[in-house]
Structure 1
Amino acid sequence: MYLTKYNRANKKFHKKNNRMKNNKGIYGGIIRFLKLAIIIVSIVPTLYFIDRGYNFLNRSVNLDSFFTVRNVKIKGNTFISMDELSHYLKGVQGKSILSVNLKGVANKIKNHPWVRDVSVRRELPGTIWVDVLERTPAVYVNTDSKLYIADEEGVILGNNSGELLRLPVVYGIDISGIKSGGKSREEGLKSAIEVKRVLTSIPWIDLTTTGIEVGERSQIVLHLKGYRIKLGRGGYQEKLQRFYNIVKNLQDRDIPYKEVDLRFENQVIVKTLDT
């Protein structure tokens, strides 16, 4: 009986041992599967990012050509030609728009004597805009038998080499030592420019046939067709209003005149043609 019982127990033990071996085999397979899955999961994102990086680099090469400056557009220039401005824009076209030094380009353009201010901006993907603010020509200045243009601030814009502008000519000012773009400090020129501003508001005065003579202590004499007006210094608006009133009276009385002196307050001296 004992041996019989022992054999049955031994058989049970071997069955149990076999089941454990089978379980270990199953667990081992599961673990190997999980390890493989982990490896695959870690490799897939790596391959994905490698692919993305390649595509990004490929697009970057295309972006360089996409953001190339193809157009340079200029506005605001009336007196300055496109050819003159193109001199300051060399090397911009064909360059990457993101690498263009906008401030550097603007500073170059400001070297032109006619440029008062300028702004340069990008318009993606490939256009550079140049917005020019030109100086306003005010008068011609006769120096050494040459005509030079001065703006409202007394900046010399250069000699007149283009078409004639509807401006008066200033005499008696020496600007021979001032280069184009330089500013004259002459009080006489400031006075002449102020007179020109007043004359602009008088419709019957033809500026193209008007001369502004600057004498000692910046005394101003206007030379018009057939007569002259002594304005002296300052108060030009009021003096020219007096001139208008007296001339109307002379014309109504059919009195020809060659000179009107307005230098003195509350007084007008008229020289007629027969005096």
Structure 2
Amino acid sequence: MEIKTNRPREARNARIVPPPDRARSRRKPPRNLGQGPMAGRRFAALLRTAGRGGILVVLVAAAVSAYVYALNAEAFNLGKVRVHGCRELDSAGLEAMVAREFPVNTLKIDLAAVRDRIRRETWVRDVEVLRVLPSDLVLYVRERVPAVIVEMKGALMVTDSEGILLDRYDPRFGKLDVPVFRGVLGEDAETYEMYQEENSARIHRGMEMLAEIASGSPRYTRIISEVDIADRNNLKVVLVDDTAEVILGEKDYLKRFSKFINNPSEYRKLKDQYAEIERIDLRFDSQIVYRLRQTDPLKGKTAGLGEQERRNP
């Protein structure tokens, strides 16, 4: 059976087109590399970074230019060197030394070098150096303090507590309530400094000994007139108004000294009997050894008596 329709032939032969895919139509077209908001933000950030870098370069260049200008400007030439803390040192001499030995421009002066140079001065223990722009330097000096009197070839000299030789003893230093130290190395200041380490060690040991004795009673050190530090492992002292050498050794200074000082009767007895006691050895725990001074047999009865041992009470 043949079915006929009214549709024209063209319509019957035309292809049926499906409806468009709406999901595909909503897809965004692909972008080329370097396009889009992310790339834009990166580019903007790069521009900002470059801008900041350029500003920094300009600032550095300006600072360098200003510094170079200052290095050659007369306004930064050294004006005043102000010195504080000098008593024994000549402050004018320090000012002249800085002006003579260091650059004219204050910005070219190495403050550490100035400090090292000033610390080589005998009386300088330490110094702080400050730069005050545009043209000044300020020195805060801490001087060494005389603490010890040492005998060198018959001359009395003063050192600080570290054994640094300062000057000849002079009344201007005031009353140094310390015994005279004997037994340092060297015949003058120059040769003393050649043995500085050993001399400082000897003086330090002597000061330790006095401090230990004074801890028992301040009067103990006031009756000591001399300290022999020639052998720092065998210290000796001489008492005021006496000539006998008291041997304390290398330890237990207070114990040994107080044992002798607090029992003077035996010593007085021997002095009354023999007059001349050369040495008193306190290094033994159970006894005190007295050595009598040797004299001419024809002139004194102490000759040949040798050592007399007396046990402690």
SS of 1:264's partner is coil
Counterpart of 2:184, as a letter, is I
Instruction: Look up the match of 2:154.
Output: 145
SS of 1:190's partner is helix
Counterpart of 1:82, as a letter, is S
- Displacement of 1:103 in angstroms is 3.0
CA distance in 2, matches of 1:89, 1:115: 15
Structure 2 counterpart of 1:131, from 140, 150, 163: 140
Structure 1 counterpart of 2:120, from 111, 118, 125: 111
Instruction: Look up the match of 2:228.
Output: 213
Residue 176 (str. 1) matches residue 196 (str. 2) = no
CA distance in 1, matches of 2:263, 2:223: 26
TM-score (normalizing by structure 2): 0.50
Structure 1 counterpart of 2:202, from 168, 191, 203: 191
Structure 2 counterpart of 1:264, from 256, 269, 284: 284
Instruction: Look up the match of 1:244.
Output: 258
CA distance in 1, matches of 2:219, 2:199: 25
CA distance in 2, matches of 1:130, 1:77: 10
Instruction: Look up the match of 2:165.
Output: 156
TM-score (normalizing by structure 1): 0.56
Q: Percent of pairs identical after alignment?
A: 22
Structure 1 counterpart of 2:108, from 63, 79, 99: 99
Residue 231 (str. 1) matches residue 242 (str. 2) = no
The number of aligned residues is: 211
- Displacement of 1:121 in angstroms is 1.9
Name stretches of at least 5 consecutive residues in structure 2 with no aligned partner.
Answer: 1-64, 272-276, 292-307, 309-313
CA RMSD of aligned residues (A): 4.5
Residue 75 (str. 1) matches residue 95 (str. 2) = no
Q: Do 1:112 and 1:181's aligned partners in 2 also have CA atoms closer than 8 Å? A: no
CA distance in 1, matches of 2:255, 2:185: 30
Distance 1:185 1:113, change over 3 A: closer
Trace 1:15-54 onto structure 2 (pairs within 5 A). Answer: none
- Displacement of 1:179 in angstroms is 1.4
Runs of 4 or more off by more than 6 Å in structure 1? Answer: 255-259
Name stretches of at least 5 consecutive residues in structure 1 with no aligned partner.
Answer: 1-55
- Displacement of 1:189 in angstroms is 6.4
Q: Deviations over 1:228-263 (max 9, x none)?
A: 56234311xx22244235534549x9x788875322
CA distance in 1, matches of 2:151, 2:92: 28
- Displacement of 1:193 in angstroms is 3.3
CA distance in 1, matches of 2:96, 2:86: 14
